Structure formats: C-alpha cells, structure tokens
Amino acid sequence: MKIGFIGLGNMGAPMAANLVKAGHDVTAYDVADIRVEGTSAAGSAADAAAGRDAVITMLPNGEILRAVYAEIVPVGAPGSVFIDCSTVDVDSARAAHAMAGKQGLLSIDAPVSGGVGGAAAGTLTFMAGGSDEAFAKAAPLFEIMGKKAVHCGDAGAGQSAKICNNMLLGISMIGACEAFALAEKLGLSAQSLFDVVSTSSGSCWSVNAYCPVPGVGPQSPADNGYKPGFAADLMLKDLKLSQQAAESVAARTPMGARATELYAEFVAGEGKGRDFSAMIERLK
C-alpha cells in the first residue's frame, strides 16, 4: 500500500519503520523534520497524505489533530482510509471522522496501548472506532504495527475505550504503589508482597507486569531509574481526558478524579519526565 504517515515522535517513528519493513511504500512527515529510514520525506502533512491508500496520524492532542485533518482531508484519495492513532478527546476524534466523512473518506480512531517498546516490537494493541468497512481496510496495517486490534464500535469508540482503560491503569498503579510503600513500613519485603499479590485477589497488571519496585517481578522502568516506558506526563494527559469525558456525560468517577489530582501534583514536582510508576517514591 501507499501510506502517508504524519507524526514521527517516540511512537510514530517505530510504527512507520515497521510498515517499511513489511514492504509498504511510506511517505512520512513531522514538523520537527524527523526522518525514518526507508520512508520518503514529505514537505508537508498534505504532501504526505495526497494520493495515498491509507494515511496514519500520531499526534499530541485534539487541537493539533483537528488542524492536521483540516489540511490533509481535502487531498485524500477517494476510498482511502484515514487512521488516527493519537490519544485525544472523544469530541476531537468525532470531529476528525466528520471531516473525513464529508470528503467521502473512510476513517478510524485507533489509539494504542503498549508504549514505546510495543511500537518498536510491533506488539501494540489498537482500540478502534469507525465503520466495519474502514476497520477492514485498516486491519492489515494493525497486524503489522501491533498484535491485537479491537473494533470497539462507531466513531469515537476507540478513544472512549482508551480513556477508560488508562483511567483504570492510573488508579491501579497508585494502589500498587500505596501497597508496596505500606509493606515497607510494616517491615514486609517487596518480594514477599509481590509473591502474594501476583497470585492473589490483588493481582493486576500494575503489579504483575510493571511492578513499581526495583528488582521485583519482570523488568520494568523501576529497574532503570524510572526512565519512562509510559511517562507520568502522558498518564496525566489521559487522566485529564477521562475526567473531561466523564463530565460531558455526567459520569461519577471519584477515584479517577483523585488519581488525576495526585498525578497533577506529581508531574508538577519530582515526577516530570519520569515513568508513571515512580509515583511510589512520592508516596513513600
């Protein structure tokens, strides 16, 4: 396929590289003039999108997504699929779908889970929202860039799923950090608590796969000085999106609201630029 890729940051660059390795013709663009080996460099977002079978965007926020779509949708090829892998607010995702639809383009909102490591390894999970036809056309590309793609529903459903998932992740990581910090003060070793929790009712991904304590469980950012696998700044962004979404539909999310407050305090202080699991140091 002829693919346009816009947004070559920590996630976008390895995703584009995996498409090249799979034999696709990728034309890429980033405002920071980042280059990915094997791609053709475009001079603008519109140049990257014009005449392509598929256009993939990986952008920082909803405002930028809307601006980029305003530029690229008018040059989209009839029948092409526009795949947005950014994590943005649901309203912006639906606005992007609407712009694409007016031009007769297929569109999917498909935020990802799996972090930079998953992007590099091609093991991301895609949460997709859009029509059956759009999902079917995007599915072969999801298979290259990830290990799983879930069609969650219509326009905006992918973002809704991502926001709910990451709100739960933020809450569960704080719970894991609190438990290990309490265990230390009670004189219980982190390894002992891990051995219990990982096989008991407290079991969760934040403990089993991403333990916030160095030297316990599978290797995680805690073993690398909390260098980000998933930055606290990004967790705060997703938690804020969850609260914006909750407010828009009058949903009660008291734990999500408190997690947002705690990560806001953390990022404003010692947590900026660190992994979100480094929250344990603040709680200690």
Q: What is the pLDDT of residues 157-186, one digit of tens each?
A: 999 999 999 999 999 999 999 999 999 999
Q: Answer yes or no: are the C-beta atoms of 233 and 265 closer than 8 Å.
A: no
Say what the pLDDT of residue 114 is.
Answer: 87
Q: Give me the active site residues, please.
A: 162
Give the DSSP letter string of the chain. Answer: -EEEEE--STTHHHHHHHHHHTT-EEEEE-TT----TTSEEPSSHHHHHTT-SEEEE--S-HHHHHHHHHHHGGGPPTT-EEEE-----HHHHHHHHHHHHHTT-EEEE--EESHHHHHHHT-EEEEEEE-HHHHHHHHHHHHHHEEEEEEEESTTHHHHHHHHHHHHHHHHHHHHHHHHHHHHHTT--HHHHHHHHTTSTT--HHHHTT-SSTTSSS--GGGGTT--SSBHHHHHHHHHHHHHHHHHTT---HHHHHHHHHHHHHHHTTTTTSBGGGHHHHH-
* pLDDT, averaged in runs of 10, over the chain (284 residues): 96 97 98 94 97 97 97 96 97 97 97 91 97 98 98 97 96 98 98 98 97 97 95 96 96 98 97 97 94
Residue where the block lists tokens 């219990």: 196
In one-letter notation, the amino acid at residue 143 is E
Say what the pLDDT of residue 85 is.
Answer: 98
* Phi, psi torsion values for 56, nearest 5 degrees: -115, 130
Say what the pLDDT of residue 136 is.
Answer: 98
Widest pairwise Cα distance in the chain = 65
Q: Answer yes or no: are the C-beta atoms of 36 and 17 closer than 8 Å.
A: yes
Bridge partners of 275, per DSSP, are 231
Token couple for 87? 């994590």
Q: What is the Rg, in whole angstroms, of the alpha carbon atoms belonging to the chain? A: 20
Token couple for 54? 């598929």
**Structural domains of the chain, ranges and CATH numbers in brackets:** 2-154 (3.40.50.720), 160-282 (1.10.1040.10)
Cα angle: 259, vertex 124, 157; to 5 degrees: 65
- How far apart CA 76 and CA 48 sit, in angstroms, is 10
Q: 268 Cβ partners below 8 Å, 6+ apart?
A: none
- How far apart CA 63 and CA 97 sit, in angstroms, is 14
